[in-house]
């Protein structure tokens, strides 16, 4: 059965076993706000593949690089902002590309370059 990347389907016990991590550690990550698993009506945690990838990143930062959880939180917030900015830059790039094409079709340049000269006088 194939599930979507963001679809919550994995129980905490499965995630803990797959990632060789204690379920209590996963609960701590949730308390710290690093991961937000979905909940069933019976309040059971369900993790998506996206959550699992995020936990893997947390493990790399804490185990391999020695970053504490507060540092992990800051890194993840910055990563989210970078991702948002990359989307914005791509959107602006597409918009500019459309404007540039439109501008060349009308033979009216989008940006007009003006030559300017600066004169520097040296006193004697």
- Reply yes or no on whether the pLDDT at 13 is more than 80: yes
- Report residue 11's pLDDT band, with 50, 70 and 90 as the boundaries: very high
- Reply yes or no on whether the pLDDT at 17 is more than 60: yes
Residues in CB range of 38: below 8 A, 6 or more apart: 8, 45, 46, 47, 48
pLDDT value at residue 102: 74
Mean pLDDT value across residues 54-77: 96
Per-residue pLDDT tens over the stretch 44-61: 999 999 999 999 999 999
State the residue for tokens 């991961």: 35
pLDDT value at residue 121: 58
- Report residue 117's pLDDT band, with 50, 70 and 90 as the boundaries: low
Per-residue pLDDT tens over the stretch 81-101: 999 999 999 999 999 988 877
Does 1.10.1660.10 match the CATH number of domain 10-105? Answer: yes
Please answer whether residues 47 and 12 qualify as being in contact, where contact means their C-beta atoms are separated by less than 8 angstroms: yes
Q: How far is CA 114 from the centre of its chain?
A: 40
Mean pLDDT of the chain: 87
* Domain ranges, ordered by start, for the chain: 10-105
Query: Contacts by 57-63 with C-beta closer than 8 Å and gap 24+?
Result: 58/29, 58/34, 59/19, 59/21
Q: In what order do the strands lie in the sheet with 38-39?
A: 10-11, 45-47, 38-39
């Amino acid at each position: 059965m194939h599930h979507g990347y963001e679809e919550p389907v994995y129980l905490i016990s499965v995630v803990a076993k797959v990632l060789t991590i204690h379920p209590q550690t996963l609960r701590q990550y949730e308390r710290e706000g690093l991961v937000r698993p979905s909940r069933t009506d019976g309040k059971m945690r369900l993790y998506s593949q996206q959550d699992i990838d995020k936990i893997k990143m947390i493990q790399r930062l804490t185990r391999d690089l020695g970053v504490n959880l507060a540092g992990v939180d800051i890194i993840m917030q910055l990563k989210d902002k970078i991702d948002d900015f990359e989307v914005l830059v791509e959107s602006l790039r597409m918009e500019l590309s459309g404007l540039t094409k439109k501008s060349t079709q009308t033979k009216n340049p989008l940006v007009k370059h003006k030559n300017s000269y600066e004169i520097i006088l040296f006193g004697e």
